[in-house]
Amino acid sequence: MKSKLHPLLILLFCSLSLCLFQSASAQNRVVTGKVVTEKGEPVVGASVGIGTAASAKYVTTDSKGAFKLQASARDTVTISSVGFEVKRVPIGSLSDFNITLTTKTETLNEVVVVGYGVQNRRDVTGSISKVDGKVFATLPVSSFDAALQGRAAGVQVTQSTGMAGAGAVIRIRGTGSITAGGEPLYVVDGIPITPNSGSTIGAANTNPLSSINPADIESLEILKDASSAAIYGSRGANGVILITTKRGKKGKPQFSFSSRFSASNITRKPELVNTEQYITLFKEAVANDYKFNPTGAPATKALPGGYTEADALKNNTDWQDATTHTGFSTFNDLSVSFGSQKFKAYIGLSNAHESSFLINDIFRRNSARLNMDYTPFSFLKISTNLSYTFTDQNYVPVGFDGGYGRAVSTAIPYFPIYQADTLYRTPVGSNPVSEIYNRTRRARNGRTFAGLNIDATILKGLVAHVEGTFDYSDNNLYQLTTRVLSNTPPSNVNRSFLANINSKIFLNYDLQVKGVHRFKFLLGGEILKNIGNSNGESVTFLPGAEDWLFNHPVLPPDSIPSPTLPGVNIANPAHTRSFGTQNEYSFLSYYGRINYTYKDRYMLTGIFRRDGSSRFGVNNKYGTFPAISAGWIITAEDFMKKVKGLSYLKLKAGYGLTGNAEIGNYAQWGTTNIAATQQYVGNAFYNITALSNPDLKWETTKNYDIGLEYGFMNNRITGEINYYIKDASDLFLNVRTTTSAGYGSVLGNYGKVRNKGLEFSISSRNIVKKDFTWTTDFNIARNTNRVIDIGTTSPDALGGNGDTRVIIGSPIGSNYLVKTLYVDPADGMPVYELLDADRKVAGTTKEYNAQRDRQIVGSPYPDFFGGIDNRFTYKNFEFGFTGTYSIGGYIYDDAEKFQLNNIGEWDVKKEVFDRRWQKPGDVTDIPRVTLGLTSLQRTRNTTEYLHSATYFRMKVVSFGYRLPQQLLKKFHLTNARIALSASNIFTLSKYDGDPEVFRDAGSSQARNISPNVTYLTPPQSKNYTLSLNLNF
């Protein structure tokens, strides 16, 4: 809403200052008047002026809406008040005015991007959240997706980690897929970009969105329901995020420079025991084991790692401190926008260097963008979008992969980092510090977005649009383990490319009939082709030459293995090349949309899309996705005119189909693997790998939506309430077939999931004074998720990390755990709930038997989640904070089963030392320490590690100062702002880890079915950022 106001104000200022010069010599007289609403109510506090608000010729209306000021006949009075359209009245000979302000619907009148066109917010019948590009301006990180958190009701954004360049997992109105991708479709300037299917490097999630420069984003629209997303057909079921980049504006070159400097620290560290405490616990564990099982356990046992107690006590390494630091990041953006009647351009240059709190974890990005609009004739507009981004990222080992993950797991506090001054302690392979320096992964990625759009006005209102876009990325991943960690250091280079080609033609026709009927027609078609390929090279070198491959990334094709390679370990000439197969898919689509508005108060939207895809089986080559929705602006009716306070009320309802086509590229085909490497006693063979499924198709979601948009007090308070049901069916599942038929399972469209939810948002201008304003945005959403059908899939086949399941009647990814009731005060062992064969409670047991006693516990999803945003301005000062919260639901800490239990192999949490059972009679929740005689005893998945997921997090607090006009003029600036912001400065949560949970899930299925499971995941970062913005 601010964004809309801003350019308007600039225009206003310009025109008013012109007036000012003209009126300087004119004769003044007293002008009086009264400002009223359309309903005749006085508008209090409206500003009435001749000139800018800062000028002397400025008054506010009194309690009766009256004003009085001096003006000349050549002047124009400008009347403005929050919630109303700005009105300008030439004074002429009048001296007493009765001015009626029309309600300005601010957000309601803003233009929103709806896919293949734009619409006025007022006319929209679907559910669309708009996020202004400005929110990305103070980001302390390089990827924009994190900033969406808490901004839109029903959009659950989980920031994955605090790693440099890390992304977020976004779920719009719940998870409606089990195995297929659950991420929304991202469309950048019209091109649907390759979705993030959950690829990982080591244990770090890659983030393709980090190659988009946030500073280039003008606005971001989130299409949440079928009434808006059905236009994206088979790819719209998870919602659609439309990203529009900035374009040139008419006028003299306007430069914008922004620079941010940010310091990043870890938000939360689990508190682990120190050496002394560790030794105490270890000795106690040995004693316990012997005491309770004298025949099965030894009476004494040496400390792990072969340390004597005396030696061990000499060291006390804080491995978390050793692997983290304060990371310093800089972000610099320079852009210029200029244009004439015929030509406009936007140029954006950006450099980001992000260094997270993890040592050696660095993300670098340089990007350039050139967006041009050329209008050679009034009926023709040619636009281009061009951008190139180069990212260079170090993926430091984390999670299960080592580094910080090892620092909070197998690195025991008495292990020293170094054994001599320069040598890492052995075994170096389990030394987190040696890992972060000696297991290097460097990903370099060049990404080009290029688009050419031509708009031709054929007739009045009829515009033909032809568009060709290209999204190409070239990725180079270099992985090296140095000789410090291996005597035969392996190194590996993987090169891949991804080309995403999209071209479309569509017609937009706007028609007005007799002033009361307004139509917008859209009819179009498009093709999309996505091609990817990757090749790898892996060589084992002699120690000392291991970076050879990095320096010589292209090997001659015939030299495998080649003696010409310096340093190739001939004794172990492990040199392999992997030639990836081309990965390709295509879409061919037709679509249309009709928007009909009658008397500006009744709206009807009809959408259809027909998608054909190479992914669909021959019997279901095309899917049709219709949607219909209607809106009624009740406040525009005469009978509502009398209702005081309520200024805007729109009822909207819709029904539609959307699809999810993220089902893999080749699942429909019956395939045979003919690789010559498949050998049986020296004979190559053919192997049928999949049966043909000609009926394979997209996943279908039926969407039912009803919503209410409201505005009170001349729209000082606005907001929206939505209720929806999303019935997803034909979910892509590997269902069980009779195993004796030879395959055991087949992939097909079998599952059903229902998401239901309620969303509420409110935006309020609490205080609007000349020098002081306060606005609040708040949203809250509830989504319930229930699995309706999984065909004949066996329950364990859909098990996820940390024992989650997809079970009919429960949410996707429910925790399936043995319930621990209490710790027996007699012997300190956990007592579990015993289930009988019918899975009914049948008493208690001390035997851990997961097969028998596992049950669904808790919910992996929150009951409510949302955000709150407050902004204050006082004169030139700005202050704001954004918080996000989540209420209800559980977190399963998959690592805690070791961090609380695995004495002897892992470092353990301090709470074990503080609260463990020690002697008969102790009543506590932490069992007696034991070395765990069997692996079963060490890897129990029980409710002991289930934690409340409720949290409130202060996401951003920012304090800004705008330089005053006089100073700006002196430096020839139009605007200058200095801000200090802090992110994640505090978090209220009972859980001692990061309550925003997202595991290093390596596939879309893992992302969907282990939503609340964490495993040594690095927490988020706490950032302090100083930013400077200059416009000139």
Please give the Cα distance from 471 to 469 (Å, whole number): 7
| DSSP assignment string, 505-555 | EEEEEEEEETTTEEEEEEEEEEEEEEEEEEEEEEEEB-TT-TTHHHH----
CB of 579 to other proteins, least distance (A): 8
Shortest Cβ 845–other proteins spacing (Å) = 15
Stretch that binds other proteins, among 384-392, 417-425, 642-650, 730-738 (CB under 8 A): 730-738
Q: Which stretch binds other proteins (CB under 8 A): 481-489, 713-721, 742-750, 763-771?
A: 742-750
How many Cβ atoms are within 10 Å of 618's Cβ, its own excluded?
12
Q: Is 63 in the site for other proteins (CB under 8 A)?
A: no
Residue bearing tokens 């995403």: 500
Residues from 871 through 910 that contact other proteins (CB under 8 A)? none
List binders of other proteins among 794-823 (CB under 8 A). 794, 796-797
- Exactly one of 678, 769, 836, 841 binds other proteins (CB under 8 A); that residue is 678
Contact between 691 and other proteins per CB under 8 A: yes
Among 32, 692, 766, 918, binds other proteins (CB under 8 A): 692
Could you tell me the smallest distance in angstroms from the CB atom of residue 792 to other proteins?
5
Smallest separation (angstroms) from other proteins to the CB of 681: 4
Binding residue for other proteins, selected from 328, 379, 822, 986, defined by CB under 8 A = 379
**Chain-centroid distance, C-alpha 128:** 17
Residues contacting other proteins: total by CB under 8 A: 72
Q: Is the bond into 214 cis (omega within 30 degrees of 0)?
A: no
Task: Quote the least distance from Cβ 281 to other proteins, whole Å.
Answer: 23
Interface with other proteins in residues 427-456 (CB under 8 A): 454, 456
Half-sphere exposure (Cβ direction) of 55: Cα atoms closer than 13 Å: 18
Task: Report in angstroms how near the CB of residue 794 gets to other proteins at its nearest.
Answer: 4
Tokens of 244: 């529009």
Instruction: Indicate whether 671 belongs to the interface with other proteins (CB under 8 A).
Output: yes
Q: Which range in 736-744, 799-807, 908-916, 982-990 contacts other proteins by CB under 8 A?
A: 736-744
Per CB under 8 A, 499 contacts other proteins: no
C-beta of 813: minimal distance to other proteins in Å?
19
**Pick 180 or 215: Cβ nearer other proteins:** 180
Q: Give 738's contacts (C-beta < 8 A, 6+ positions apart).
A: none
Q: How far is the CB of 494 from other proteins (least distance, A)?
A: 16
We find the least distance from the C-beta atom of residue 1002 to other proteins, in angstroms, to be: 21
Name which of 464 and 887 has its Cβ closer to other proteins. 464
535 binds other proteins (CB under 8 A): no
Q: Are strands 1013-1014 and 890-893 parallel, antiparallel or unpaired?
A: parallel
* Position 688 contacts other proteins (CB under 8 A): yes
Specify the stretch interacting with other proteins by CB under 8 A; choose among 178-186, 225-233, 335-343, 670-678: 670-678
Give CA torsion, residues 965, 967, 972, 978, to 10 deg: -90
CA distances from residue 999 to 161, 205, 401 in whole angstroms, order as listed = 9, 9, 13
Among residues 293, 487, 673, 918, which is the contact residue for other proteins, using CB under 8 A?
673
Distances (CA, A) of 611 to 591, 730, 742: 8, 16, 34
Q: Half-sphere exposure (CA, 13 Å, Cβ side) for 845? A: 15
119 and 228 Cβ atoms separated by less than 8 Å: no
Other residues' Cβ atoms within 10 Å of the Cβ of residue 229? 35
Residue number with CB closer to other proteins (315 or 534): 534
Looking at the Cβ atoms of 570 and 684, the one nearer to other proteins is 684
- Closer residue to other proteins (CB): 293 or 687: 687
Member of 643, 684, 808, 988 binding other proteins (CB under 8 A): 684
**What is the rounded radius of gyration, in angstroms, for the C-alpha atoms of the chain?**
32
- Per CB under 8 A, 739 contacts other proteins: yes
User: Rounded CA gap, 926 and 912, in Å?
Assistant: 7
Q: Which CB, 81 or 569, lies closer to other proteins?
A: 569
Residue 115 or 748 with smaller CB distance to other proteins: 748
Check if the beta carbon of residue 1014 is closer than 8 Å to that of residue 1001. Answer: no
Instruction: Give the integer Cα–Cα distance in Å for 589 and 528.
Output: 9
Nearer to other proteins, 24 or 676 (CB): 676
* From 557, 851, 919, 972, residue interacting with other proteins (rule: CB under 8 A): 851
Q: Least separation, in Å, of the C-beta of 669 and other proteins?
A: 6
Sheet strands (E) in 599-698:
602-613, 622-633, 646-660, 671-673, 679-680, 683-684, 687-690
Kindly identify the residues of this chain, within the stretch 761-790, that bind other proteins according to CB under 8 A. Answer: none
Contact 765, 778 (CB under 8 A): no
CB of 908 to other proteins, least distance (A): 22
Q: Between 315 and 430, name the residue whose CB sits nearer to other proteins.
A: 430
Cis peptide before 561 (omega within 30 of 0): yes
H or E element in which residue 788 lies? strand 772-789
Side chain identity, residue 140? P
CB of 1025 to other proteins, least distance (A): 45
Taking the complex as a whole, how short is the minimal distance between the CB of residue 740 and other proteins, in angstroms? 4
Residue 34 interacts with other proteins (CB under 8 A)?
Answer: no
Nearer to other proteins, 118 or 531 (CB): 531
Cβ at position 745, least distance to other proteins in Å:
7
**Helix ranges restricted to H, 149-255:** 226-229
Q: Which of residues 606-665 bind other proteins (CB under 8 A)?
A: 612-614, 621, 665
The CA distance from 697 to 693, in Å, is: 9
- State which residue, 420 or 459, has the beta carbon closest to other proteins: 459
In DSSP notation, 926-965 reads BPPP---SSHHHHS--BGGGEEE--EEEEEEEEEEEEPPH
234 binds other proteins (CB under 8 A): no
Q: Quick one: 380 or 767, whose CB is closer to other proteins?
A: 380
* Candidate segments 61-69, 522-530, 649-657, 713-721, binder of other proteins by CB under 8 A: 522-530
Exposure of 684 by Cβ count < 10 A (0-12 exposed, 13-18 middle, 19+ buried)? exposed
Q: How far apart are CA 599 and CA 173, in angstroms?
A: 32
CA 4 → CA 9, 88, 219, 619, 1009, distances in Å?
Answer: 9, 18, 11, 48, 41
| Least CB distance to other proteins at residue 613 (A) | 7
819, 813 in Cβ contact below 8 A? no
Nearer to other proteins, 370 or 588 (CB): 588
Applying CB under 8 A, among 598, 686, 822, 874 the residue interacting with other proteins is 686
Among positions 310, 513, 554, 681, the unique one binding other proteins when judged by CB under 8 A: 681
Residue 456 in contact with residue 376, Cβ under 8 Å?
no
682 binds other proteins (CB under 8 A): yes
Instruction: Show the site string, 910-939: x = touches other proteins by CB under 8 A, - = not.
Output: ------------------------xxx---
What's the DSSP call for residue 278?
A: H
Nearest-approach distance from CB 687 to other proteins, in angstroms: 4
Tell me whether residue 62 or residue 455 sits nearer to other proteins (CB atom).
455
CB distance 512 to 582 below 8 Å? no
Total number of residues shown for the chain: 1032
Within 567-586, the residues that bind other proteins by CB under 8 A are 579-582, 584-586
377: contact with other proteins by CB under 8 A: yes
Report the residue from 11, 111, 313, 458 that binds other proteins according to the rule CB under 8 A.
Answer: 458
